[in-house]
A and B are shown apart, each in its own frame.
Chain A
């Protein structure tokens, strides 16, 4: 009897895994997992960064201001916001961009993927796999890899700078195209650096493929854009592995956002089937056949098939996407013709427009209603991280449930790693340092 009650007491014991401030994610968030006995009872990814009301203060602004205003939502992925805004507003005005301007948009997006993925793979996620608290400590033992990551990131930034005017919150993107287009010779030095970057991305795939990955997968619904001929950046239909196949303009009929008490970011779910998964893994699984031969080969030699359902292996997929982005950027530069003029004229009329593009972290949806003067009357913006929140919580629930025997510090470590599988971008509002030191 004694041993039975002791066993029961052990089972009823409550535990919590609590991370009050998630490091190595973009923005301010925390993590709480409650365990009672042998059961995970609660999982909360808390986003306490205050809401920023972008949708509210876009109301009343001219439609052509949207790309510059929404770029401010994020310092890591401003291109995603600019591209989604441009496409939505062009949709509202009945314009479809083709030819060299369209190519330039793909090229600038390549830059954003490279810089964002390089940052995450090397500085934020790799330390988890190699057992370092952060990239600073990792750099002491792996200086060449960290230097390679920093140079890769710089190569991506250079694309954004050349086409966007500057690396963070670019200023050269507009509804209809660009304010100014580069001439062909502007790309000479960049192309050389991108040839290096493509090799470095291949080396990245080889490097991360050697990491040890927890054995983990779930029956996810992956959602991404799919285009008839291309790996998706700006266009396509929204598809999933569970039968979703809709035009971007039908997004609101299938996806809902709702508020949960523990997060300042709205959580998204599919009307019909609940949580879903966006980002590199979703894109890869739904578009493997659209990757360039070199990127496909890199994935295969890293041991990946056309479908990968282990989110811990997203670091390999992110690296494969870097190979693709370098490869695609070089192809676009090789065939570049300067668009003249660099933008098409866009005349507003009363309408609603829809845009969805593939941010580094997954689909970024924008909807704008404008009046006959081009004033924004209403808008909706859904960033990728809010769409992944429910899936992240689901991962943590299953991961903790199946790893209850891990020592607490190891469990906490892997929970944080599981969150970072999604490269969550809780976003940049202000930036300040909080410190405790003696003043002189």
Chain B
């Protein structure tokens, strides 16, 4: 993967066939329509090594994933991964052994974190096999798209 001149990489993480787990993918696709050039926009399953590879060489990375913390569906979490370690609850709750939080922390250990890394978590309600987002998550996806569009515009 070659990072464009802007150094900005947006990574949507998730599984679009698992309802709200597809929130990150939906954000990536909508941003692609807004920024057809100048920004690298990727869709990833969340496998950690692939994520570390995806942000290699980038300066601004924004990663969006679905989360389940018990907050109300559609709640938007914003974590500055450079400022603090990923919260403990991020670990070991994926069915993948090496996932988003592990990738962030392993990159930190190896001094391979990008200069800016923001993780957006969208609280999901339904993770069953289905291609529709819940209404609250649909709204949150729109809100995250807007916020990321602003972040990208100011970073460009």
Q: B106 contacts A432, CB within 8 Å?
A: no
Instruction: Mark interface residues in A407-436 (1 if CB within 8 Å of B CB, else 0).
Output: 000000000000000000011111111111
Q: A430 contacts B127, CB within 8 Å?
A: yes
Closest to B78 in A: A440
Q: Once the chains are docked, how many angstroms separate the CA of A147 from the CA of B87?
A: 24
Q: Is B142 an interface residue (CB 8 A)?
A: no
**Interface 9-residue window, one of A21-29, A34-42, A201-209, A395-403:** A21-29
Interface residues of A in 323-382 (CB under 8 A from B): none
Main secondary structure of the interface of A (DSSP, over half): loop
A26-B45 contact given A154-B53, A437-B69, CB 8 Å threshold: no
Interface residues of B in 42-98 (CB under 8 A from A): 45-50, 52-53, 65-71, 75-79, 87-90, 92-98
Interface range for A: 35 or more
Q: A119 contacts B98, CB within 8 Å?
A: yes
Q: A435 contacts B95, CB within 8 Å?
A: no
Q: Once the chains are docked, how many angstroms separate the CA of A124 from the CA of B21?
A: 25
Most chain-B CB neighbours within 10 Å: which of A26, A427, A437? A437
Q: A433: which of B45, B65, B70 is its contact (CB, 8 Å)? A: B65
Q: Is B100 an interface residue (CB 8 A)?
A: yes
Q: Once the chains are docked, how many angstroms separate the CA of A21 from the CA of B98?
A: 15
Question: How many A-B residue pairs lie within 8 Å, measured between CB atoms?
Answer: 129
Q: Is B99 an interface residue (CB 8 A)?
A: yes
Instruction: Mark interface residues in A11-51 (1 if CB within 8 Å of B CB, else 0).
Output: 00000000001011111100000000000000000000100
Q: A434 contacts B69, CB within 8 Å?
A: yes
Quote the shortest CB–CB distance from A28 to chain B (angstroms). Answer: 6
Q: A432 contacts B21, CB within 8 Å?
A: yes
Q: A28: which of B48, B52, B95 is its contact (CB, 8 Å)? A: B95
Q: A432 contacts B66, CB within 8 Å?
A: yes
Q: Which residues of A are found within 8 Å of B138, using beta-carbon distances?
A: none
Q: Once the chains are docked, how many angstroms separate the CA of A136 from the CA of B109?
A: 6
A432-B68 contact given A136-B109, A139-B106, CB 8 Å threshold: yes
Task: Count residues of chain B with CB under 8 A from any CB of chain A.
Answer: 49
A439-B75 contact given A119-B98, A139-B109, A154-B53, CB 8 Å threshold: yes
Q: A431 contacts B18, CB within 8 Å?
A: yes
Q: A427 contacts B121, CB within 8 Å?
A: no
Closest to B101 in A: A433
Top 4 A-B residue pairs of the complex, sorted by shortest distance between their CB atoms: A435-B89, A434-B93, A139-B109, A430-B18
Could you list some 22 contacts between A and B, CB below 8 A?
Answer: A26-B95, A26-B96, A75-B96, A123-B97, A124-B98, A135-B98, A135-B106, A136-B108, A136-B109, A143-B109, A146-B110, A154-B49, A168-B45, A426-B95, A427-B95, A428-B95, A430-B127, A433-B121, A434-B93, A437-B77, A439-B77, A440-B77
Using a CB–CB cutoff of 8 Å, the interface residues on chain B facing chain A are 14-15, 18, 21, 45-50, 52-53, 65-71, 75-79, 87-90, 92-102, 105-106, 108-111, 121, 124, 127, 129
Given contact pairs A25-B97, A431-B14, A440-B77, enumerate 6 new A-B contacts (beta carbons under 8 Å).
A23-B92, A136-B106, A140-B109, A167-B50, A430-B18, A435-B87
Using a CB–CB cutoff of 8 Å, the interface residues on chain A facing chain B are 21, 23-28, 49, 75, 119, 123-124, 134-137, 139-140, 143, 146-147, 150, 153-154, 157, 167-168, 426-437, 439-440
